[in-house]
Amino acid sequence: MPGGGGSRPAAPGSWWGAASSGGAVRGRVPSPGGLDFISRRGPDTQLPPAMKPQQTEVSVPLQPPDHESTGPEEQPPDYVLWSLFNVLVGNALAFMGCCCFPALLYSIKARDCKVVGDLEGARLHGARAKLLNIIFTILGAIAFVATIITIILSLTILHTDT
């Protein structure tokens, strides 16, 4: 082996034999993966059978599928983004992130049920997540308005005292 001190001698005329004997490199040059045919490919060289191009027929439908056809059931929504938004905004704005967290849990459960194929469980958890998201969106909006009113009132009181 080259550089490794292996016990196998290099074949005469091979790359390693020429390089180790100090002579010019003659014969074939090894290429990675045994692809020696690439370096000496000429007009009469044939590709190996594994690399020959193959023809395959492909059918591409140009019309949209009919909605009346019987296909897979429609996937129920899981409301993960809405729940995540409510948790982040609720936590940042009104410190209600922990109240919004159950909606996020139900949303994740609905997504897990969709992945497993339990569409009924996904509908159930999705409906709960939607209800909780509606409640916490309304509570978040009320908290936002209350915060703005509190800031305005405190600024007007400070401004009138000075």
| pLDDT tens-digit readout, 40-97 | 555 566 666 777 677 778 777 777 666 554 456 788 999 999 999 988 888 887 677 7
Q: Per the domain annotation, does 59 fall within a domain? A: no
Mean of pLDDT over the chain: 75
Co-location of 28 and 96 in the same domain:
no
- Count of structural domains within the chain: 2
Co-location of 28 and 94 in the same domain:
no
Over residues 115-140, the pLDDT tens digits come to 998 999 999 999 999 999 999 999 88
Query: What pTM value is reported for the model?
Result: 0.52
Co-location of 31 and 85 in the same domain:
no
pLDDT for 129: 96
Q: Are 71 and 99 in contact (CB under 8 A)?
A: no
Q: Is 130 exposed, middle or buried (0-12, 13-18, 19+ CB in 10 A)?
A: buried
Co-location of 85 and 152 in the same domain:
yes
Q: Per the domain annotation, does 64 fall within a domain? A: no
Domain of residue 36 covers 10-40
Q: Per the domain annotation, does 115 fall within a domain? A: yes
**CA 62 to chain CA centroid, nearest Å:** 28
